[in-house]
Structure 1
């Protein structure tokens, strides 16, 4: 076992998905360095692993390019304060868990000061920001990757990289237990179920609540027997969702809001309507047909739509390298379009069988011991393997 005397690791996650990924890495590291000390910024899962967080992780959470502008000075102040403290404390390494807009800038400054830096989850340079690779070359000592096709991209760019598998592929069973999930949620085994996932970020909920609720209303008219459930990430998200649905005059739609239990809600589903993001990969790993939607502030969209390098935005399609599930972006994400697409995913049995097989193959390709692989890479970087 590696020596653990006075080993200090700093980490930052800015969103729920990064918090989950970083916590798994921290657990793997502690198995090798029992007395490791963690500091930085993180959420509930990282706190459970012993992180001392400078500020609540929610303070960092912001979505979109234009939306960050009003909060730039605040976020920059947090970054500078953390940078100065870490340069003074000299941790063995800094690990940025996703959240590249904040973490890459911090990593660049820390690495310039001589602190080794790792970045967990490669920024999607292959999809949106190809020019970002030059900053990554300056900022990152070692990249930890969760998608297999990324490794060659970073190595060609001269950035040391390790594919560690995706932690979700370990957490989600290859064959989900639909009956157990429905029992947990109090849903009959023979019900037809659509799970609606408008996102965990407030900005996602802001733009997707109305079209998602509108789609539910249209689907319920088409088949009143369908059950609709929507997992909510927290009370704040649930209250905001209800407020927006009521403002749109859709408060009477038959949509049951569930506190948490997102995995049970996905496992119980026959089809899923989801905001683009990590949730779409979770749905694929549960082998469920889905429809993906993405909406942001208009100004952000005008910038982003000229930056895309891939024709896909949803993770299942990116991994498959083709449109295996439908995507509706910005103005195309209308209630009618979403309802029609969900109905197809719900009722076309040949399509459902084909998707189940593709998603099973995808699951196997992402399955590694990510905690062990990521902690091994960190130990190599800090010279304690």
Structure 2
């Protein structure tokens, strides 16, 4: 019997995907220790031991308009991944989220006989339901994070595995960590804390940071300065991009890097870009305002295509508005500050929101989501390698 080490292609195009990729790599290695991982990713994947053949920062886009601007670069990365994979012939590809890129890649990989595992389902329940036919043709296993997604794929006869959401196990409270964070950053526990999370990509930060800071300036006046602000800096975004804007608003804001969970853990309220940050805040039961802004073209197209009432995953899961959403033309700092003030000054209202967020957290499934997904992936790869006469 031929004995070769497994090879796995991993493709993640965004910060959250890079985080999940890193954790999956660590867990898969417990089952397949000598596996060689390569692909598209960021710093977290690199640190987990993956060979980066293309940097995900080159593909960071928000909306249709920006995709068109970077199309040449996106195609070059796509072709490089395909070329390297045609040569290396990996035992499987793990494609994480990033559907505009990854669904096309899945079709090409399937044609050359590479099994495709898709982690984090495209939001077919929000728009583009027809994509499920493409998924059925090209994906060997769809790993979903939300239990309602499992039923959708079962009905469509797509091989599906519900792992639970990885954040349920990754976002944890720690009394020792909390105390050290408070002391190190000289945070007062007698004043409310508002955390600002404007996103992980330059485009969304450019769109959201100013209105977030303006909202904070108004809130600061409403609370007579008796409030503290924390601003979380995303990987790959220069400190100066935040510093200049904060300075222009004259606010006393602590800009922090790498302390997302510590900051949220002690927060009374958060201003967050719609996406992973909202779910992180929900798991830590932080009342929030969800904000998002796109180019006019992208916004118009989405308004036509979307089948859902809400933009924030917290409200989508609940199927009702648990926390307020301020999107596109509704991003009005006076209203946002007013909502934050009402939550901060009304303990009953805050307690109701926290209770609802606790239910969201409980719906996310096991805290062992990544180990469960890794085991399912390893079993599929081992099974396919066995058929080909290969074993590690």
TM-score normalized by structure 1? Answer: 0.93
Deviation sequence 1:118-155 (CA, Å, 0-9, x none): 11100111113223222222231111111111101111
Helix, strand or coil at the partner of 1:111 = helix
Helix, strand or coil at the partner of 2:254 = strand
Helix, strand or coil at the partner of 1:336 = helix
Give 1:158 shift. Answer: 1.8
Deviation sequence 1:170-220 (CA, Å, 0-9, x none): 122368776554334320222211111111110111101111111011001
Distance 1:151 1:175, change over 3 A: farther
- Contact map agreement 1:24 1:371 (CA 8 A) in 2: yes
| Structure 2 counterparts to residues 204-215 of structure 1, below 5 A | 204-215=204-215
Match of 1:262 in 2: 260
Match of 2:389 in 1: none
Distance 1:64 1:184 in 2: 38
Match of 2:74 in 1: 75
Is there any run of 5+ residues in structure 2 with no aligned partner, and where? 385-392
| Structure 2 counterparts to residues 10-89 of structure 1, below 5 A | 10-89=9-88
Match of 2:108 in 1: 109
Helix, strand or coil at the partner of 2:374 = helix
TM-score normalized by structure 2? Answer: 0.92
- Contact map agreement 1:172 1:286 (CA 8 A) in 2: yes
| Structure 2 counterparts to residues 185-204 of structure 1, below 5 A | 185-204=185-204
| Structure 2 counterparts to residues 161-180 of structure 1, below 5 A | 161-173=160-172, 179=179
Residue 137 of structure 2 is aligned to residue 138 of structure 1: yes
Distance 2:272 2:31 in 1: 38
Distance 2:71 2:203 in 1: 17
Give 1:111 shift. Answer: 0.9
Is there any run of 5+ residues in structure 1 with no aligned partner, and where? none
Q: Among 295, 298, 308, which residue is 1:297 paired with?
A: 295
Give 1:345 shift. Answer: 2.2
Distance 1:8 1:146, change over 3 A: same
- Structure 1 stretch 214-223 or stretch 255-264: which is displaced more? 255-264
Match of 1:311 in 2: 309
- Contact map agreement 2:58 2:73 (CA 8 A) in 1: no
